[in-house]
Amino acid sequence: MNYQLSLSGSTELDILILFFVVNIIFIVLKILFRKNVDYKFIYGMVKTEKYTYIMESLSKGLYAKILSISSLIISPILIFSSLIFLIFGLVTRTPTYAPVIPGASYGPITLPLAQTIISIFIAAFIHELSHGVLSFRNKIKIKDWGFFYLGPLLGAFVDPNEEEINKTSKKEQLKIYGAGATINIIAGFIFLFILLIFNQLTTTFNLAKPYVSIVSTIPGTYAYGVIPNDSILYSINNYNISYLNQIQEVLNKYSPGQNVTIYTNKGTYDIELVDKYNETFLGVYVEQEYNYASNIIPFTGSLLLWLFIINLGLGIGNMIPIYPLDGGRALKALLEAKFEEKKAKKIMNIISIIIVILILYNISFLF
């Protein structure tokens, strides 16, 4: 499959408008809070020492206890999974480590602009918050925390004292470095669960009425040039069609050479069926569509889906063993538990260089 990276003209304009708005916001913030704001046009950061008591409070409760145990178990699994994910991409020539660009298309996959930006911000926020919580749990000082933007991307950061982290046991270091990725994986599956419930409620209360759209017809078939593009398919020989799978179920009742009557919103058409790979074929490209009771429904469903995808992607990608990513720091802590610090650092540097080269090769599949 072709995963070539592309941006439409309208998407580029939307990104520029968003970038312009974010710049205005940061200019205002720079004027109001000069010392706490770093503004560099393409990049901006707001940092503060306030409200760290929230992380400190969470560090004393059940959340921190569960996160600590989960991180110890899940972190090594994620390091291994990140490498498997990379190997899969290299073997199948799939850009599994492609940079996430809101609004961009990667072959047939398009990242919706607003949903992707919101998802990245939420995933980054809970990721950094979890680092802070386990830092406080180990009585490590948080120097500051805050938010930043880089181009169209919004993110968050927490800055614990690295020297104090290095004084803790290797086990606690592994927990702290793996906390962000661990919470992303857990949150990802929570969002998936919410999405499944949301879809069920949408169906139960009839908030989304399904229909099949005929996008275009295929040359060399009897439907070509007869059935108009962008038609809504109502039925085939009085068999009502609402879902894609129903089309082949109906066509299997007939044989190539037979005629069927196609009912659409643009007219009724008698079409002779053809054979394709030993199956009866109508000769149209179709898509599943829905009529929603409100525009907020498809947006919410899409947002929940991308919250799942982005959280999983951040959880796995951030644990790739490259120093100074969390995965690299976690693996370094594991290596230092077995080797002396100098040797562990040398091994980590070699691993990082090899994986960076492989990731760059993986990203090249986009072009």
Question: What pLDDT score was predicted for residue 344?
Answer: 92
Where are the chain's structural domains? Answer: 5-203+301-366, 208-292
Question: What pLDDT score was predicted for residue 97?
Answer: 95
Whether cis (ω within 30° of 0) applies to the bond prior to 324 is: yes
Question: What pLDDT score was predicted for residue 34?
Answer: 86
Question: What pLDDT score was predicted for residue 121?
Answer: 96
pLDDT digits (tens, 9 = 90+) for 118-156: 999 999 999 999 999 999 999 999 989 999 999 888 999
Alpha-carbon span 216 to 140, nearest angstrom: 61
3-class DSSP state for residue 219?
coil
In which residue ranges of the chain is pLDDT below 50? none
pLDDT digits (tens, 9 = 90+) for 26-81: 999 999 888 899 998 889 999 999 899 999 999 999 999 999 999 999 999 999 99
E-assigned strands of the chain?
Answer: 5-6, 37-39, 43-48, 105-106, 109-110, 142-150, 153-160, 208-217, 231-236, 239-240, 259-264, 267-272, 274-276, 279-281, 284-292
Question: What pLDDT score was predicted for residue 74?
Answer: 96
Question: What pLDDT score was predicted for residue 5?
Answer: 85
CATH architecture, range 208-292: Roll (2.30)
